[in-house]
Each structure stands twice: as C-alpha cells, then as structure tokens.
C-alpha cells in the first residue's frame, strides 16, 4: 500500500526545502512529503565547524536583494540570525601581471586598474559600438569583446563568469546567463546608455546603476543554519536516504518509486533534484523531457578552505577577495577572504581563506589530491598574498557536478522542459539548472513551482 500525498517534492536542497515549506503552508504538513537521497538536507549548502573555524562547503552567502528569499528567512524565524558582510566586501580585486588591482568605478577607473591604457580607452568607446540585431545566440565573451573590447572581456568579464558559474565565458549563452545584460543592449542600444537611463530612474540614495545590488548575507553559524531550520520546521514530512528511481502515472495520480522499494503516490510532484538525476526518474514517463534534462551540462569544482596565522600573511586582506583571468597562467580561479567578510569565522590571530580551483576550463582539478591542491595554493596563492607558511588547517570540498552550465541551446532545453510539464500536468521542475544558479534564483524557482501547480 503506497502513501498518498497532495504534493511530493523530490530533492532536499535549497529549492526542495523552500518548495516543501510553502507547499506545507498551502496544504498542511500531513499532505506533503519531501524525499532526499542523501543523509542530510541542503544540497551544496553545507557548513563544517572545525576548532573555531566556519567553513562553507558550497555557497558563501546570498545577496539580500530578493524579497522572496528574505520573506522565507523571516517565515522560518531566522531574521535575527542574518549576518551582513563587512562593508570592506565592496572592495574587489583582479589579479593581472603579478599584481592585485582594485576594481574602481569611474572616474577612478580611468586612471589605473587591471586594464592597459589602450584597454581602458577601448572600453570607454562602448557607446560608439552599434547595436547588434542578430537573433543568433552569442557567448558572454563575444558580447563583451564586441562591446567593451577583448582585453576587458578576458580581464574583467571572463573571471566574473568563472566566479559565478565556474564556466567558460566563450561557451556560455549571454541571454541565458545574464538576460538583463542582453536586455540593456536590446532596449537602450548599449551598456553605458542603459546605465545612464537606469541612474536617472533610480531614487536618490538608492545606490548606483552599476553592479548587481544587494549586500552579501549569511547566517550566524553559516549557511547550514538555513537548512537546519528548514528541516526542523518540515519535521516528519522529510524522508532522508530515499533516492527516487522512477516517476510514473497511474489512476491515483503520480507514482513515485524509491530505491528501497517504498512506493508513494501524489497529486502533484515537484522535482528539485539536479537534472542529471531527474532525467532517469522520468525517462519512461516522457522520453523527450528526459532528454532535455539530460542535455543540461554541469561543471565540477574544488573548494579549498585554509586558515593561516595572521602574522604569516603579508597582505592586509581588506576586501572581498580576488579573481584570476585565465590569461594569467594561474590554476586558481580566485580567493575569497572569508574572515574579513564575516569576522568570527576563524580563531583570534588567524585568517580564513576560500580558494576555488577547477570549473569548465580545468575539469580535472576536482580529481586532484589534497596535496596537489595545496601545492597549487603554494604556487599560485602564496605569492599573491605574501603567505610565508603552510596553513594551520585545511579542508577540501569536491563537487563533481557542481554548477549547471547554460551553454548554447539552453533556452531551447528549458523550453523543452516546460513543454514536458504541459504534457504532464502536476509535474514541475525547479532548481538552479533553468533560470539562474544563485540561492535567490533557487527560492524564486521553488515558489514558481508551488504557485504554478497549486
């Protein structure tokens, strides 16, 4: 005899927990069930505490600009446990030609920074570049090179892409990854023109037209605080260590088979699992849908958290951290100065750094040994930050399929998933594989699924 629920959620990451919470509010806790294949909730949002050090295995935080995320936090009773990053987080750096260059807005940008004089002049010529009208897909790198020059594309844009997506800017579709940037040219003819128009519309005291907006935000105790609290609220509606093997239809609605043989049925199903797992669940139900899910690629990432004695680090670490262009003959993608952003995450007299290695341009990094990755830090990171001794503590977190890649054809793949949802009323897909990879995107995706299928 199977257990029947109004809503069954597959996947207990950020998206699944958010969807389960709002489905519970909508229908009652007794009418929902969340199935998670692992032994804990949170997906990549995991935190480890080691001898006074707070290491984030996955996301370092989120920008506090999405009201839906903040509402979920308040609904969970975590509003007072939010922690905003140190204002020094506004200082960000790019490594180029052996030096860390602070990224500064105009007019200071014009008098220095990571770009050569020629590169700065080419960037300033952006308003003179004609608008592109071709309907064909364009990579992020090609868009940036066309509008602000190849040097700026390599030095400023490509590292940002590797920092957000772990991706190769030459392979990712602009309209899928940064739809607002594509719209800036489509609606205003160029980036500078769009920023000027946005600045005119922005009320006084509300910041600038540049940047994504919002403040980097986390929780007391790290990002796992969010997932722990979500698990407490969801309570017995969560079933861990329950991999879903197949989703099918029968007279009672959707039938969900699990690896341990326990069957479930539900009126609606929200699949919040990664697409490489979801595709197998629905292959017999809807082959074209499974193929669309399977076609969304992911990239791997190694996150190396290290602490050092403050006296052993020559750099002042007054900032967010830095990114490294792929043109600079360094393996690391960048480094976040965590103990500056969130004081108290390392013991007194120590600093905590978080270095990213791998991504689409270095897929083998995730398989490297701890010692090989630490040697990469000695070779790449130590000279940049004037580090003169090995770390006091280190942790390596490997994510084999870390971040979805919105490569060419992504919008067609998402459209094929949406068509599959229409063919199978009550079946919905949510998560970071479709319309954004950040925590805020996951919350928006979860709410979309709940509201659409409610």
In a domain, 55, yes or no: no
Q: Does residue 349 belong to any structural domain of this protein?
A: yes
Give me the pLDDT at residue 110, please. Answer: 83
Q: Give the distance from CA 386 to its chain's centroid.
A: 29
The last residue of one of the domains, among 364, 384, 404, is 404
204 pLDDT tier (thresholds 50, 70, 90): very low
Q: Are residues 187 and 257 in the same domain?
A: no
CB-count burial class (<10 Å; 0-12, 13-18, 19+) for 21: buried
> Does 275 lie in the same domain as 214?
no
Question: Is 430 within 8 Å of 15 (Cβ atoms)?
Answer: yes
Can you give the pLDDT at residue 202? 62
Residue 450: pLDDT over 50? yes
Q: How far apart are CA 341 and CA 92, in angstroms?
A: 12
CA distance 342 to 219: 10
339/360 same-domain check: yes
- Domain end call among 147, 170, 201: 201
Query: 11 falls in which pLDDT band (50, 70, 90)?
Result: very high
pLDDT tens-digit series, residues 105-151: 888 888 889 999 999 999 999 999 999 988 899 999 999 999 999 99
Residues 6+ apart with CB under 8 A from 350: 53, 307, 308, 309, 310, 339, 392
Establish how many alpha carbons lie within 13 A of residue 406's alpha carbon, considering only the half-sphere containing its beta carbon: 24
Tell me what pLDDT residue 107 has.
82
Q: Do 293 and 303 have their domain in common? A: no
Residue 54 lies in a domain: no
Residue 208's pLDDT band, with cuts at 50, 70 and 90, is very low
Of 213 and 215, the structure prediction assigns the larger pLDDT to: 215
Which element (helix H / strand E) includes 357? strand 350-358
Alpha-carbon span 330 to 365, nearest angstrom: 13
Domain count of the fold of the chain? 3
The reply to whether 251 falls in a domain is: yes
pLDDT band at 209 (very low <50, low <70, confident <90, very high): very low
Domain-embedded: residue 56: no
Q: Within this chain, do residues 395 and 272 fall inside the same structural domain, yes or no?
A: no
Please tell me the predicted confidence (pLDDT) of residue 212: 59
Within this chain, do residues 332 and 372 fall inside the same structural domain, yes or no?
yes
pLDDT in tens, 286-304: 999 999 999 999 999 999 9
Instruction: Give a yes or no: residue 382 inside a domain.
Output: yes
- Please determine, for residue 205, whether its predicted confidence score (pLDDT) is greater than 50: no
Kindly state whether residues 119 and 170 are assigned to the same domain. yes
The conformation of residue 153, written as its DSSP 8-state character, comes to: I
Which CA distances in Å does 11 have to 221, 240, 261, 334, 445?
23, 10, 17, 30, 14
Q: Is residue 51 part of a domain?
A: no
Looking at every residue in the chain, the average pLDDT score rounds to 95
Do 229 and 349 belong together in one domain? no
- pLDDT reading at 210 higher than 70: no
331 and 391: one domain? yes
pLDDT in tens, 343-387: 999 999 999 999 999 999 999 999 999 999 999 999 999 999 999
Distance of CA 318 to the CA centre of its chain: 24
Stretch 271-283: mean pLDDT: 98
What domain range is 356 assigned to? Answer: 61-105+210-222+298-404
According to the model, what pLDDT value does residue 257 have?
96
CA-CA distance, 334 to 135, in Å (whole number)?
34
Report pLDDT for 200: 76
Residues 6+ apart with CB under 8 A from 155: 94, 96, 114, 115, 119, 325, 327
pLDDT in tens, 395-424: 999 999 989 999 999 999 999 999 999 999
pLDDT above 70 (res 285): yes
CATH number of the domain within which 380 lies: 3.90.660.20
Whole-angstrom distance, CA of residue 110 vs CA of residue 112:
6
- Closest to 55 measured CA to CA, from 433, 401, 391, 300: 391
Are residue 400 and residue 312 in the same domain, yes or no? Answer: yes
What pLDDT, on the 0 to 100 scale, is given for residue 34?
A: 98
Question: Residue 193 has what pLDDT?
Answer: 92
Give the residue carrying structure tokens 């160029």. 190
The CATH code of the domain that includes 183 is 1.10.3110.10
Same domain flag for 400 and 445: no
Using left for φ > 0, alpha for ψ between -120 and 50, and beta otherwise, residue 209 falls in alpha
Q: Tell whether 321 is covered by a domain.
A: yes
Does residue 262 sit in the same domain as residue 146?
no
């Amino acid at each position: 005899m199977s257990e029947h629920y109004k809503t069954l959620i597959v996947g207990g990451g950020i998206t699944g927990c958010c969807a389960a919470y709002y489905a519970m509010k909508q229908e009652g806790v007794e009418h929902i069930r969340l199935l998670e294949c692992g032994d804990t909730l949170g997906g990549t949002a995991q935190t480890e505490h080691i001898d006074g050090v707070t290491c984030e295995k996955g996301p370092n935080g989120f920008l506090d600009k999405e009201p839906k995320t903040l509402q979920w936090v308040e609904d969970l009773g975590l509003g007072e446990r939010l922690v905003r990053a140190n204002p020094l987080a506004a200082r960000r750096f790019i490594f180029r030609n052996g030096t860390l260059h602070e990224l500064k807005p105009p007019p200071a940008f014009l008098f220095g920074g990571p770009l050569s004089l020629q590169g700065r002049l080419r960037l300033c010529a952006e308003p003179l570049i004609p608008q592109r009208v071709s309907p064909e897909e364009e990579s992020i790198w090609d868009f940036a090179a066309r509008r602000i020059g190849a040097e700026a594309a390599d030095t400023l844009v490509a590292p940002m892409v590797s920092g957000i997506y772990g991706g190769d800017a030459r392979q990712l579709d602009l309209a899928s990854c940064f739809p607002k940037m594509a719209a800036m040219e489509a609606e205003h003819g160029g980036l500078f023109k769009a920023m000027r128009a946005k600045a005119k519309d922005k009320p006084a005291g509300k910041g600038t037209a540049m940047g994504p907006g919002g403040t980097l935000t986390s929780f007391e105790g790290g990002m796992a605080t969010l997932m722990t609290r979500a698990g407490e609220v969801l309570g017995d509606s969560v079933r861990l260590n329950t991999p879903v093997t197949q989703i099918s239809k029968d007279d009672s609605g959707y039938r969900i088979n699990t690896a341990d043989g326990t069957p479930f049925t539900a009126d609606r199903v929200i699949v919040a699992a990664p697409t490489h797992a979801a595709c197998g669940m629905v292959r017999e139900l809807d082959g074209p849908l499974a193929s669309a899910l399977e076609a969304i690629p992911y990239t791997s990432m190694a996150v190396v958290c290290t602490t050092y004695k403050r006296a052993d680090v020559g750099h002042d670490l007054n900032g967010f951290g830095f990114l490294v262009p792929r043109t600079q003959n360094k393996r690391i993608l960048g480094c976040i100065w965590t103990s500056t952003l969130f004081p108290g995450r390392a013991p007194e007299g120590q600093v905590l750094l978080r270095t990213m290695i791998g991504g689409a341009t270095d897929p083998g990094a995730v398989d490297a040994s701890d010692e090989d990755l630490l040697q990469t830090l000695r070779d790449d990171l130590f000279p940049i930050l004037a580090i003169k001794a090995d770390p006091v503590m280190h942790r390596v977190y490997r994510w084999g399929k870390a971040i979805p890649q919105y490569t060419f054809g992504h919008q067609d793949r998402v459209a094929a998933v949406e068509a599959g949802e229409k063919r199978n009323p009550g079946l919905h897909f949510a998560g970071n594989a479709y319309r954004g990879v950040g925590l805020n995107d996951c919350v928006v995706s979860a709410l979309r699924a709940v509201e659409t299928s409610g």
